[in-house]
Amino acid sequence: MQEFKHFINGVYIGSQSGKTFENRSPVDNSLIGLVHEAGREEVDAAVAAARAALSEPWGKLTQAARIELLNKVAERINERFDEFLEAECRDTGKPHKMAAHIDIPRGAANFKAFSETLANHPTEAFRLDTPDGAGALNIGQRTPKGVIAVISPWNLPLLLMTWKVGPALACGNTVVVKPSEETPATTTLLGEVMNECGVPPGVFNVVHGFGPDSAGAFLTAHPGIDAITFTGETRTGEIIMQAASVGLRNISLECGGKNPAIVFADCNLEKAVEGSMRSAFVNCGQVCLGTERIYVERPLFDAFLRRMKEETAKLKPGRPDDPEANFGPLVSLEHREKVLSYYRLAEEEGATVEIGGGVPDMGAALNEGAWISPTIWTGLSDDARVVREEIFGPCCHIRPFDSEEEAIALANDTRYGLAAAIWTENSSRAIRVAEQIEAGIVWVNSWFLRDLRTAFGGAKQSGIGREGGVHGLEFYTELKNICIKM
């Protein structure tokens, strides 16, 4: 059994209160270990360590020296690939082959990609005429924001944590990370890597715990925090936004989504089915960018539904180390109960359950885990709760449409605006429709195809701000103008 301690100022420490909570496997509900819960004392210590490291030694390093250290971190994660893979899959239950392809390599790449992109981005300079004819020169200079609170989610624990930590450190900030209480392992392990690579103590800190009256609330309300970046559900984002308003701290929020896909009759059917399968069911549907609403042009509707059901039936749940498994459990029994409540609600609201709708029999060894069946519904009204509320599970509702205008209206009929997918072989239509979709990212004939240089974030209640590439500079730095009178 493991023990997950806080990582503060380069040292692993337990909670002064002695309070711990269980970390259980979603695969079979076995006990993985005990996680120390941070109180105000541990949060205070982590913020103090981060603030002390800001000026010395982290702030004294050259940009080139910081890049070198962060590149070492990326390399060391890959050198310890199997350890990170095992830790990630133990916490989440996801298949090894998925985490080995996405979670771990992308998590490592975030350090190298952002350090190199942000270090080479220019600022601005303007010559200003003055009444005396001598002129003035304005020079833009970017400085670190300060101590960044990173609140990271449980669905892609390493990837989405380093997505924030990488650019934060590359810009010269220090961080205090609060990972999800469900998935503490890889964030804790990263502390070892930071020490091995020579990252100064206090630059990277980790506190464990929950949200209300725990580490999350103490961290976001702490006056020593200069900015907060969060990925998670919209309601929690609203609470964090309220906390950040005290002291006018900056925020970056990537929140919920009820993402649509629009499948036109002129699409490549097999590509559309393959992409829609991944967007609905990969990571057991626990992807903020995933698709829960699929709108199919009526002439293609029956064929598309038939192929989706055929492919869904082929999904094979199993242990993370099962080479044949391509479908894992939900992250916890608590989350499964939430998703199952929507499964029950769908039937109450009149859905036709095309496939799934319950809990599979995984055998005596696994039935205590958070397993759930991938599910497809049809026949719901557009105002059904199942169609309007984010479920965050392996499920989707498929509905026919008759015109391009109708499809756009249906796709935009949501309080969210995170992502969307369009499937068509007509390039003019693809661009025309994409421009009218109210979302932060729109894929055409693809899904989850991410270029780290591009802007990422949501519209409407899916978030505030953009990260990715040079766009992260707006959040992780302060832009100062220096005006020199000639």
> Cβ contacts of residue 174 below 8 Å, gap of 6+?
50, 51, 53, 54, 58, 146, 147, 148, 168, 202, 203, 204, 205
Sign of the Cα pseudo-torsion (148, 154, 155, 159, in order): positive
Using DSSP, state whether 397 is helix, strand or coil.
strand
For 7-36, give the DSSP string.
EETTEEE--TT--EEEEE-TTT--EEEEEE
Phi and psi dihedrals of 23, rounded to 5?
-115, 110
d(CA 355, CA 310): 9
Strand order in 31-36's β-sheet? 2-4, 31-36, 20-24
Cα separations in angstroms, 141 against 47, 66, 122, 137, 476: 26, 18, 9, 13, 13
Give me the catalytic one of 181, 254, 354, 390: 254
**71, 169 Cβ separation under 8 angstroms:** no
**175, 165 Cβ separation under 8 angstroms:** yes
**205, 50 Cβ separation under 8 angstroms:** yes
Helix%, strand%, coil% for the chain, nearest 5: 40, 25, 35
d(CA 300, CA 203): 54
d(CA 59, CA 272): 49
Cα separations in angstroms, 433 against 19, 66, 113, 149, 443: 53, 43, 31, 37, 11
Is 254 assigned a catalytic role?
A: yes
d(CA 441, CA 466): 11
> Residue 351 is inside which H or E element, if any?
none
Using DSSP, state whether 115 is helix, strand or coil.
helix
Cα(first)–Cα(last) distance of the chain, in Å?
67
Query: Among all residues, which ones are annotated catalytic?
Result: 254
